[in-house]
Amino acid sequence: MGGMRRELPGWAGLPMMGWLTAVLWLDRSGAGGSLGQQRLLGALTWLALLAVLWRVSPVVRAQTAVVVAMATVVEYVFSPTLGVYTYRFGNVPAYVPPGHGLVYLSAFAIGHAALVQRHRRTAVAVVLTIGGAWAVHGLVLAHRTDVLGAFWFGCLALFLRFGPSLGVYVGAFVAVGYLELVGTHLGTWAWAATDPTGAVSIGNPPSGAAGGYGWFDLAGLLVAPLLLRGWAHLSPRRRSLLAGTPPVADVR
């Protein structure tokens, strides 16, 4: 295959989500884990992310890098700064930035699975039906009214209608929805009842969290080509220096 790497198969999302589930369980409320344990989980999660990235194309690597960078900024702004949601130690755990990379790759793998690609309309209809029911429940029936979740579900519906990659948004609904339910159930993090203004109520978790995550996916899909073009314009010497490898002389 001339050195080309295959993209992730559909089933690859399962071990990645399995690893993240194990990490959330180990760092759950009442588990007695320390900051040192969080850092170890972070290092292992980075290794897991790098191992997966080795298998994918440069485009997907660039998309993942954008998602990790954007999600990390959002984490530090919305968690320890604004307190929209809070982790056990009031910090951003070391496993969270690479964890966002694995979430994106899980969404990518699920969304590009053969079954989803063959039945894209059905998959979108299922996501809209389940997500819509969850959002309505949060607005009408839940003990904590969830306006933010309904807003994010609206974002998800727009992504599914106009977004550049339907499969990724379908996969994000599965991966993000599952991990939000697991993380809040275990007490790994908890969402505040309202936003900092007190005007927008929030469920724990918000029903449409995948819609909020869709902005990360969109950024990755749109910005990655710019990164790759910038990388391509670097000289071979600069590319090798940035990659930490000896430069290769040009052959004329």
**Of the candidates 231, 207, 219, the residue with the CA atom closest to the CA atom of residue 149:** 207
pLDDT of residue 235: 54
**251: pLDDT strictly greater than 80:** no
**108: pLDDT strictly greater than 50:** yes
Residue with the larger pLDDT of the pair 27 and 240: 27
**103: pLDDT strictly greater than 60:** yes
pTM of the model: 0.88
CA 110 and chain centroid, separation: 13
Q: What angle do CA 13, 15, 16 make, to 5 degrees?
A: 60
Q: What is the mean pLDDT of the chain?
A: 89
* Beta-carbon contacts of residue 188 (< 8 Å; ≥ 6 apart): 24, 27, 28, 29, 87, 88, 182
The sign of the dihedral angle between the CA atoms of 55, 59, 60, 61 is: positive
pLDDT of residue 3: 37
The two three-digit tokens of residue 236, written as one number: 């071979």
Sequence letter at residue 9: P
**DSSP conformational letter for 128:** H
205 prior amide bond cis, ω within 30: yes
pLDDT of residue 225: 80
CA 240, CA 247: separation in Å to the nearest integer?
5
CA 10, CA 12: separation in Å to the nearest integer?
5
Strand partners, 85: 191
pLDDT single digits (tens) 163-212:
888 899 999 999 999 999 999 999 999 999 999 999 999 999 999 999 98
Q: Residue 2's pLDDT band (boundaries 50, 70, 90)? A: very low
Integer Rg of the chain from CA: 19
Q: Residue 6's pLDDT band (boundaries 50, 70, 90)? A: low
* Cβ atoms 168, 111 nearer than 8 A: yes
**216: pLDDT strictly greater than 90:** no
Mean pLDDT of 38-44: 97
**Of the candidates 26, 23, 29, the residue with the CA atom closest to the CA atom of residue 44:** 23
